[in-house]
Amino acid sequence: MDGLNVSDVNLQVQVHPSRSNNVRKAVLRELSSLLLRFNEKFQGVVLAYEFNIDKVPDILPSMHPYLYVRLKAKLLLFSPKPDMLLEGKVVKVRQESIHVIILGFSSAIITDKDIREEFQYKTKHGKDLFVSRSHKRHVIKAGTMIRLLVKSVDEETLCISGSLLPAHTGSILWLDKHVENVSLTDGICRSNKRRRGNEEESVMQEPSRTSAEAYSIVDHYIKKSKKHRESATQKPSRSEAYSAISDHSIKKSKKHRESAMQEPSRSEAYSAISDNSIKKSKKHKTREES
């Protein structure tokens, strides 16, 4: 949480002579009067302290002599400033405002105009609450610890005017679980915007180089597509290949049938051979008779 800091200071405390037998206790009493009050000298509210007595007390020369005690102290200060993030507990929720207590003593109020539109006011089981429209589990109700942005601070009353307009404000329990995702997406969006901006600047600074590269890339893809088309036209398609194979097989079967029709059958060959042998025997007989 912002607004908390430790300050090393040198203090001077006056102690009544009647308390000289226990100077430390007298100093503690004086410093306790500074707690939970806004101190203009320290520009904050003193929450805690520790000290060491720097020197043996001296007696101040005056009509009412006091012991003069010098201290070296460490003070824990609460110094809220505008645009700081504070954490507190919700004590009351109304449709027009959210009331918060910070560190147990400082009050803060968040009006409806300082609550972002993501939150919708509802009443559930008799309890007033604000529920996120985009994340149903992001709920703000009485008892919820929230993180708020400081708009202004009233030093006299220690009353703080807060805001829930930024995206990183709201229920601490929900934010601790999901703020990494939110910051990651925001970082990615910012980096993308930055990269796009750098690319646009480079394009404006070097137009000839980028245009030449772009034209070369386009020409490369055009040539590649032309080669692909030519190879596609040269190579027959699957259907054409199938039709060519079927035509070849048909032609082959036709030739086989024609050759089969031209060649005589086995019986015809046998009959031709027998006829030829009969003719030869007849010629041989006629020769013998003659």
pLDDT digits over 141-186, tens only? 999 999 999 999 998 888 999 999 999 999 999 999 886 555 554 4
Mean of the per-residue pLDDT values of the chain? 76
From residue 143, alpha-carbon distances to 97, 109, 213 in Å are 15, 15, 62
How does 65-91 read in b/e, with b if 16+ C-beta sit within 10 Å? ebbebebebebebbbbeeebbbebbbe
Burial grade of 213 (CB within 10 A; 0-12, 13-18, 19 or more): exposed
Q: How far apart are CA 13 and CA 49, in angstroms?
A: 14
Q: Is the pLDDT of residue 230 over 90?
A: no
For the ranges 49-63, 98-112, 190-204, the maximum mean pLDDT occurs at 98-112
pLDDT at 120: 93
Alpha carbon distances (Å) from 88 to 62, 102, 147, 153, 241: 48, 4, 7, 15, 81
- Nearest Cα to 160, choosing from 90, 103, 91, 80? 80
What pLDDT, on the 0 to 100 scale, is given for residue 185? 47
Out of 94-98, 108-112, 156-160, which region has the weakest mean confidence (pLDDT)? 156-160
Identify the pLDDT of residue 166. Answer: 93
What residues pair up with 108 in beta bridges, in sequence order? 100, 160
Instruction: Decide: 96 and 12 in contact? Cβ < 8 Å.
Output: no
Q: Give the C-alpha separation, 3 to 105, whole Å.
A: 14
Are 26 and 19 within 8 A, CB to CB? yes
Report the predicted TM-score, pTM, of the whole model to 2 decimal places: 0.57
Residue 26's contacts (CB-CB under 8 Å, 6 or more residues apart) are 13, 15, 16, 19
Mean pLDDT to the nearest integer, 225-250: 55
DSSP string, 234-288: HSPPHHHHHHHHHHHHHHHHHHHHHHHHHSPPHHHHHHHHHHHHHHHHHHHHHHH
Does 108 or 262 have the greater pLDDT score? 108
